[in-house]
Structure 1
Amino acid sequence: MTAAHAISIAVTFTWLGMVVAISFLEAPLKFRAPGVTVPLGLEIGRLVFRALNVAEVVGAALLVAGLLIDGPPTRVVVAGSAAVAVLVVQLVGVRPRLTRRSDRVLAGEDVPRSHAHYVYIGLEVVKVIALLVTGILLLGV
């Protein structure tokens, strides 16, 4: 196993763990904590997801570099590329809408729940599956 291959495996499973822990545990649970208001939860979420997204971009760059260096089978590249593509769609297409909505809530407006939130969650599920498949395929190569 090459160093690039080992790094690709580590990055993939680390990225997967971060997404699962934050998107599917921290994000929904913070609003259940005593004393956490919607505005406070939104501010916490902004901080946490900004940090997660920075870590994801670094992870995506490392994964892409590792795959380019290692040259794994096409199926691995496709699965890894799917995770990276989902991240790009989230950051460029969905996050700005969610940010605009949370800006309005924090300004005191009463706004309905955004459909973009459901799109983001759906994309998180797709990304988790893509990362899991990528990691499993990398382990088998």
Structure 2
Amino acid sequence: MSTAAAVVTALTFVWLGMVVAISFLEAPLKFRAPGVTRPIGLGIGRLVFRALNAAELVWAVAILVAVILGSWPGAAIPTATGVAVAALVVQLIAVRPALTKRSDAVLAGHDGPRSSAHLVYVGVEVIKVAALIWLGAAVLVSAT
């Protein structure tokens, strides 16, 4: 396995594990914990997702660099990389601001209509997870 393939494989599966653990386990479960109110859960979520997104940016850039520098058979690896990175960019630029606006309102005591931004974020998260699985599998297959 080349250095580029090893880097892409490791970072892809670390990224995938973090997204699954935080988005699909921690995020929904924190609201079920005793004593966690909606404002506390939102405050924790904002901190956790800010940290996750910062780490994701680092991993995305490192994967992009390794994919650009590596030699890959076919288009699957660059394409899967592009889908995963594009999903992250959509979340950060298009969806996170709407989620922040909504959580700011809830934390300020306003309980208006629910935002669909959360469902959009989850949908894009599912696309990102699928792209990361595709990317990791494609790199492993190409290394054999």
Give the CA deviation at 1:36.
0.3
Q: Please name the residue that 1:138 is paired with.
A: 139
Name the CA distance, whole Å, in 2 between partners of 1:71 and 1:96: 37
TM-score normalized by the length of structure 2? 0.96
> Does residue 121 in structure 1 map to residue 122 in structure 2?
yes
Name the CA distance, whole Å, in 1 between partners of 2:55 and 2:114: 27
Identity in percent = 60
Local SS of the residue matching 2:68: helix
Name the CA distance, whole Å, in 2 between partners of 1:21 and 1:7: 21
Residues 14-29 of structure 1: matches in 2 within 5 Å? 14-29=14-29
Q: Which amino acid aligns with 1:121?
A: V
Local SS of the residue matching 1:113: coil
Q: Please name the residue that 2:59 is paired with.
A: 59
Local SS of the residue matching 1:93: helix
Name the CA distance, whole Å, in 2 between partners of 1:111 and 1:41: 18
Which string of whole-angstrom CA distances, capped at 9 and with x for unpartnered residues, describes residues 10-34 of structure 1? Answer: 0000000000000000000000000
Give the CA deviation at 1:71.
2.6
Name the CA distance, whole Å, in 2 between partners of 1:100 and 1:116: 10
Aligned residues: 141
Q: Please name the residue that 2:33 is paired with.
A: 33
Q: Which amino acid aligns with 1:98?
A: L
Q: Which amino acid aligns with 2:57?
A: V
TM-score normalized by the length of structure 1? 0.98
Residues 101-116 of structure 1: matches in 2 within 5 Å? 101-116=102-117
Larger mean Cα displacement after TM superposition, 49-58 or 105-114: 105-114
Q: Which amino acid aligns with 1:137?
A: A
Give the CA deviation at 1:50.
0.4
CA RMSD across the alignment: 0.7
Q: Which runs of 4+ in 1 moved over 3 A?
A: none
Q: Please name the residue that 1:98 is paired with.
A: 99
Name the CA distance, whole Å, in 2 between partners of 1:140 and 1:89: 28
- Which structure 2 residue ranges, 5 or more long, are not aligned? none
Name the CA distance, whole Å, in 2 between partners of 1:68 and 1:91: 23
